[in-house]
A and B are shown apart, each in its own frame.
Chain A
Amino acid sequence: MESAIWLRDAVCCRGVFPALAGVDLDVATGEILLLRGPNGAGKTTLLRLLAGLVSLDDGRGTVLGCDLRSDRRALRPQVGLLGHELMLYEDLTVAENLRFFAALAGASGAEAQAALDRLEVASRLGDVPLRRLSAGQRKRVAAAALAVRRPRLWLLDEPHAGLDESGRGAVNRLVRDAAGRGATVVLASHEAPAAAEVATRTVHLVGGIIPGPAAAAAQQPVEMRDA
């Protein structure tokens, strides 16, 4: 299967410290990869590297066929990132936020509404400024804003955090739909049960590296480990 992500000895420094200290990673198109690891392991930096938002300091890598050193600008519009911060405008309403990002992506207002419906965001909240919503509702809106862009690579950083059971289910349905349409998904999550429901493979990141043969078992497909 075609490789969506290919990293070799990827090093990425935040300040003087290497947040990623030589990561090797292959992810096939259509895979749903669960990225696990303790706080400070480099999960967020890895997702931002894959989004083309931070540069590669050493090593090599391509994402969706774009070189991480020279083609980051071409890569970014194909990637959707749901981070710890919502990347939305607090003073705009839910509908205004969705319409703005839909318009930038060339999507229609109807598609924006459909994305909100899929995330089960009540229609009465459309005219409410984002700052007045609860953390869980905001997260649903951020996921909808990501969905409306229809990215080829979904990068989700703790997508289940702060969500109730129905929210976690809505996010998982969104992830499955995306993978079903051929998108690749990488999700970093501490909510192991919720994330493992959709992941097809798990990788552990520890101290800025993905351990090699010793941790091979942890990198096996989820269904093989569960068997």
Chain B
Amino acid sequence: MRDVLLVAGKDLRIELRSRVLLFQVAPFAVATLVLLGFALDADRSALRNFSPGLFWVAVLLTALLAAQRSVAIEHAGRAADALLLSATSPARIFAGKALALAAQLAVLEALLGVAMVVLYDARVDHFGLAVASASAATVGIAAAGTLYGVLAAPLGVRETLLPVLLLPVFAPVLIGATRAFGDALGTAAVNGWAWFGLLGLFALVYAIFGALAYGPLLEAET
């Protein structure tokens, strides 16, 4: 666990210092939410009804940027080689990087949540369900983003390839999280906890798969 926290702390420190999250990713996230509202050109009640889906589309687009950043940190200066030559296991490196990415996404989701309330007049009826489903979705997105990030890392077309790889993978998260949020926000008559279960399963599968596959993929990057 110590190595996991070391790797996560290192990634978060780099993000804090570079301020990319604050000055680039966060404004992009809010701008996406605003533009989606403009695109629908709807009244506030319609925006409120669509808010779960719009929120998660904004989260997933933002997650692409954050995943790119997470890869770029290790790619610059071949820092990934230094991690491979350390005594820590690739599974711990994966867990640390996914934890850092999840922490950044959690901050962005909180920001987008506030923006959704302000811009779309959204109301949260079941706070526990919203937090639980957002947590499960965040872990799944972070695990998949970290795994596919290292998969695309050795390719010269990483910046354009990663979204192509990741968006189809994120589709189950978009569906599940939108349904669960629909129940939590009172905009859809569905069993949100059942969708939370799907999100949890997605997170579990990608966490396990990522821990197993990260090492060989990191080796291939070198």
Contact = CB atoms under 8 A, between A and B. Distances in A.
Interface of A: 48, 51, 53-54, 73, 76-77, 79-81, 83, 85-92, 96, 100-101, 103-106, 129, 145, 149
Nearest to A54: B222
A54 B221 CA distance: 10
B17 A91 contact: yes
Interface residues on B, range: 20 to 34
Contact of B78 (A80, A85, A149): A85
Given A48-B222, A76-B85, A106-B87, A100 B6 contact: yes
B18 interface: yes
Q: Tell which of B2, B13, B77, B219 has the most Cβ of chain A within 10 Å.
A: B77
A83 B6 contact: no
Contacts of A145: 82
Interface string B42-85: 00000000000000000000000000000001001111011111
Interface string B201-212: 000000000000
A140 to B, nearest CB: 15
Contacts of B84: 53, 76
B78 to A, nearest CB: 4
Nearest to B87: A77
A83 B78 contact: yes
B154 to A, nearest CB: 12
B86 interface: yes
Contacts of B3: 104
Interface in B15-41: 17-18
A90 B77 contact: yes
B87 A104 contact: yes
Contact of A103 (B6, B77, B81, B83): B6
Given A83-B81, A104-B3, A129-B17, A92 B10 contact: yes
Nearest to B10: A100
A101 B85 CA distance: 10
Interface in B146-182: none
B81 A105 contact: no
Contacts of B78: 83, 85-87
Contacts of B18: 91
B76 A90 contact: yes
Contacts of A88: 77, 79, 82
B88 interface: yes
A105 B77 contact: no
B14 interface: yes
